[in-house]
Structure 1
């Protein structure tokens, strides 16, 4: 878990550096053409933020998976038992984990499943939206650069 927090913190630090780069675009002396640089820095910010959120969730799933079958009192998985009523816990059958999308589901003996932690839903959506935003910003920066190059070629 410490490694996961460290990697997530490293990605968050990268996002912070990218945020400073985005804010620097508002200051005098910014590089030209500034819209391209702003989109590139925004893409980096979105990508680093998506990575930080995904890695945090990934290591949460890995930790839940590691706690399963880790000695006495580890079956069913502690993530499926803690915070749920005893009647539900009594009917636990097994669990399912997934790394893409992030989830750790607890399966009851009748086949129904419930999520061990509702935070996985927002982690999945935020990582997806930030990754898509980063990709769109990077594509947009490339498009603007290509458009400027074509305009320059027509002028000369």
Structure 2
């Protein structure tokens, strides 16, 4: 139910990434605004932030889609994400699933309590969106520290 709007959000974020990257690349062209370093930091941070949002939205759509498949007619329980693509030994004794939205996870739980990932690709998505968000935050912090240092130098003169 919520998976399609989240996929739409990921498309919006992807378009924003393309716009932000184009604006960052434009800093290499003649006629760039001054001071160009501040604009480049701001535009690169925006690109990283939008990219983090796009990756998270795609992963969230996957988790929501897997969650929506449960209880959706015949042969829907246990979750199809826990059954399809796995060998019979892995899915033997499957009892239920657990979904998490932060971090993104879709775990399949067996009767003995052991767990396996219904979508192993979510681990990579988690690391990707966290890395991009951290890079964006560090760029914003660096931009503000640079402005603070410049203000202190100007005040000392």
TM-score over 0.5 for the alignment?
yes
What TM-score does the superposition give when structure 1 sets the normalisation length? 0.94
Q: C-alpha deviations, 1:44-89, integer Å up to 9, x for none?
A: 0110000000011011101111111112111100100111122332
8 Å contact 2:4–2:61 — kept in the other structure?
no
How far residue 141 of structure 1 moved from its aligned partner, in angstroms, is 0.8
Q: CA deviation at 1:106?
A: 0.4
Please give the alpha-carbon distance, in whole angstroms, between the structure 1 residues aligned to 2:89 and 2:121: 23
C-alpha RMSD over aligned residues? 1.1
What does 1:79-118 align with in structure 2 at a 5 Å threshold?
A: 79-118=81-120
TM-score, scaled to structure 2: 0.94
Gaps of 5+ in 2: none
Within 5 Å, which residues of 2 pair with 1:105-144? 105-144=107-146
Which residue does the alignment assign to 1:29? 31
* Runs of 4+ off more than 3 Å: none
For the residues of structure 2 that align with 1:35 and 1:41, how far apart are their CA atoms? 10
Structure 1 unaligned segments of length 5 or more: list them: none
Matching residue of 1:9: 11
